[in-house]
Structure 1
């Protein structure tokens, strides 16, 4: 039914087991389809071909963060209007024994065959096989189409470690930065998020770095600890598809308001101060830890340093028109404040750039954040409007020093 539609396909894939096995069989086994069959790009392109989809179609390889980076790229394409809907995710198949041998000699695998995420026994990860795909739309389109919205992706960010102790050694500062950027682009503060689905591989090197980074961003000033967990303790590390597995779990956690156990945790790794960093590993099925709108973070990190973090939010109640379409129901004030008139005009320009660059952020959420998270100075302006267009027009007026309706 989507044939000819501008639907994008974004797939995270990192392993070449099939290609390796094919080449090992020798050129005598090659046929007319071998060349296309060995192209990673065709993992996405064949889906577009089979379903007749005309939007962007590509494979992402950023290491173990590939599938979550694919989701973030799909979100960006939707915001830019490059596609009307997107299929995003990843796949990981364990076909060649040599790949597991290489990972074992790299030092990544658990000798015990268990993912002891954040635990003192952590000694590596367990390889997992499978894949996952999510269907993405702009929230306004999904609501208008009557879709079952599982959750909303408020925002996300991607960066790289940019060097450090080694190519495959994670850098705490870069993880702090990517989480902070994701929150900023979501229009939320750290205390708005109650749960984080960890990258959480169960390695004695990576886990303490991730925990410390989360503590620096999410753990400050919390009255209730940030709850964390990792699907890798349930299904293993799906490598190129690991990020979308974590996303699917986190989306269901946000929808259901129940947090499942992160398995195999008894006591924290000695390099972690979970209590001091404001973190708590979920050890059994539990209710959402705080009242209010449910929001969660999802992390995925590639071995070459490409990090991604997304922020999810509980879907609006379809039975409540006011909640389902916050930008079209009521008048919203946007309050600006600065130390000088020139700075006030610049605030209006910066706010306009933020709002237009984040098409899914709700006008009401912008208004709330401006009131509760910004300092108050002597020079002020208030823009009032019942929709995005009126509010942006008001910002334009403030930016040039004009006074008018709204």
Structure 2
């Protein structure tokens, strides 16, 4: 075995030192990324009490306004479903709820969606498109400029009342009912609509869905999977089924 010269040993030492410094730099970057601050640059919202902007929502909270009201007829006939006894089958023991207004309003042409497809589109998906657009405008970002960018979508969603209402008659199911009501399609539709190339994930962890979606968005940003993240959640109570089930649980 040929012995190494002093010059060769020095060269190897330099290479080892350089590799060590590179590893230390990479490790330092990984450690710093775990606690890197995340900037929230735009917000859009729809909340009960006609709180449809961040300003109006803050005003509702600051004034202690109660947005709970008797369930209106356009949701369902509460008199037909109400019974003070929670053990009564097919009934609910509550008459009031905090509900978002104007869930039937939508401009499909703005998003390049046909009227026929819009009819099969869960209002939750409609809200996602509209409110995301508003949030981007508030951030000073032209939504059309996000095309082909590494922007991720992280969406908390877990209620499918519109599907329960519209798919009860099998003979009337349209080709758009599947994509209009599946949770995975809700996130995918937003990514497709804006031409995004980042992760696109629908998350259902019950009441923590939106929180988990935001957590996943932060992780994606810190790990470099996304350069920008659209994160949030949506839930619309449109039918009495789930409320009836929760009433039976006395929840």
TM-score tier after normalising by the smaller chain length: 0.3 to 0.5
The normalised TM-score by structure 1 is: 0.26
Normalised to the residue count of structure 2, the TM-score between the two structures is 0.41
Relative contact order: is structure 1 or structure 2 higher (C-alpha 8 Å, sep ≥ 6)? 2
Name the structure where strand makes up a greater proportion of residues.
1
Q: Which structure has the greater CA radius of gyration?
A: 2
Higher helix share goes to which structure?
A: 2
